[in-house]
């Protein structure tokens, strides 16, 4: 397995106050990494840095990949945001941002089915205001996996969804791993990936 991220002596501060300290962590291609820890231990902060939304205050975070890492790594926020447009436009936005407009309808249907929607066509013209919390979460997930990312970062993906949606999200994660996607997931639930063949757990401590 090749290395995707290399973290050394990482420290993140906000206004001089430490939010995260991590001495060493390597993330490997195709693995499932579960970040656990109490509230305020820096799980979301680490994910945001891995998604290149924030820079470390100290230390190094290296990504081993292509020239445009933000198009290879994607993050699903804990409370995802859907744009004020249709489900179809939301799910295909990442592809359209890349100028990739080939076969959008088929790829939309494929991603939506992978996220647990039996009838993607029925959802296509609906708006975010017409969706339940679980649907919003899975649509946001579909908008990430349609891009076939190299690294999928998930921040508490099952925190606000019912049991059925949780199972569908876990099925989607399983399918991503089968395609050699690296998945890094922040969670409070140590049993979340109990049924998965291989999962590496990293516990973050409050600084």
Partner 1 sequence: MGYFYDGILKAADMLLNMDAATFSAIEATLASTACALLCAMTFGLPLGFLIGYTDFPGKKLARLVSDTLLAFPTVLIGLLVYIFITYRGPLGHLGLLFTLPGMVIGQTILALPIIVSWTAQAVENLDPRCRQTLLTLGASPWQTALHTMREVRYDLAMVCVTAFGRVVTEVGVAMMLGGNVRYHTRTMTTAISLETSKGEFAQGIAMGIVLLGIAFIVNAALTWLRHRGRA
Residues that bind partner 1 (CB under 8 A): 51-53, 68, 70-71, 74-77, 79-81, 83-84, 93-94, 97-98, 127, 129-130, 143-144, 147
From 56, 62, 68, select the one nearest 150 (Cα to Cα).
Answer: 68
Taking the alpha carbons of 163, 167, 173, 176 in that order, is the dihedral positive or negative?
negative
Please check whether residue 155 is in contact with residue 78, taking contact to mean a CB–CB distance below 8 angstroms: yes
| Residue closer to partner 1 (CB basis): 84 or 101 | 84
| Residue closer to partner 1 (CB basis): 90 or 165 | 90
Nearest distance in Å: CB 9, partner 1: 26
Q: Using CA atoms, how far apart are residues 93 and 87, in angstroms rounded to an integer?
A: 10
Nearest distance in Å: CB 160, partner 1: 14
| Residue closer to partner 1 (CB basis): 70 or 188 | 70
Strands 200-203 and 32-36: parallel
Nearest distance in Å: CB 23, partner 1: 26
Q: In what order do the strands lie in the sheet with 58-63?
A: 17-28, 3-14, 58-63
Q: Using CA atoms, how far apart are residues 74 and 52, in angstroms rounded to an integer?
A: 9
| Residue closer to partner 1 (CB basis): 98 or 190 | 98
Q: What is the DSSP letter of 31?
A: -
| Residue closer to partner 1 (CB basis): 77 or 112 | 77
Q: Return all residues near 136 (Cβ < 8 A) that are at least 6 apart.
A: 80, 82, 128
């Amino acid at each position: 397995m090749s290395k995707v991220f290399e973290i050394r002596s990482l420290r993140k501060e906000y206004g001089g106050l430490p939010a995260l300290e991590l001495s060493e962590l390597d993330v490997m291609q195709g693995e499932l990494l579960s970040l656990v820890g109490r509230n305020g231990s820096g799980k979301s902060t680490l994910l945001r840095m891995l998604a290149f939304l924030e820079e470390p205050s100290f230390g190094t975070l290296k990504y081993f990949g292509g020239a445009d890492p933000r198009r290879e790594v994607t993050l699903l926020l804990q409370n995802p945001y859907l744009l004020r447009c249709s489900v179809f436009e939301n799910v295909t936005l990442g592809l359209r941002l890349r100028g990739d407009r080939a076969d959008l309808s088929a790829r939309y249907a494929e991603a939506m089915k992978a996220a647990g929607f039996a009838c993607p066509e029925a959802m296509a013209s609906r708006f975010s205001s017409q969706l339940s919390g679980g649907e919003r979460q899975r649509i946001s997930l579909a908008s990430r996996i349609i891009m076939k990312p190299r690294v999928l970062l998930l921040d508490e993906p099952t925190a606000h969804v019912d049991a059925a949606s949780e199972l569908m999200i876990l099925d989607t994660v399983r399918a991503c791993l089968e395609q050699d996607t690296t998945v890094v997931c922040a969670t409070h639930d140590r049993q979340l990936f109990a049924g998965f063949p291989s999962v590496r757990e990293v516990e973050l401590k409050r600084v």
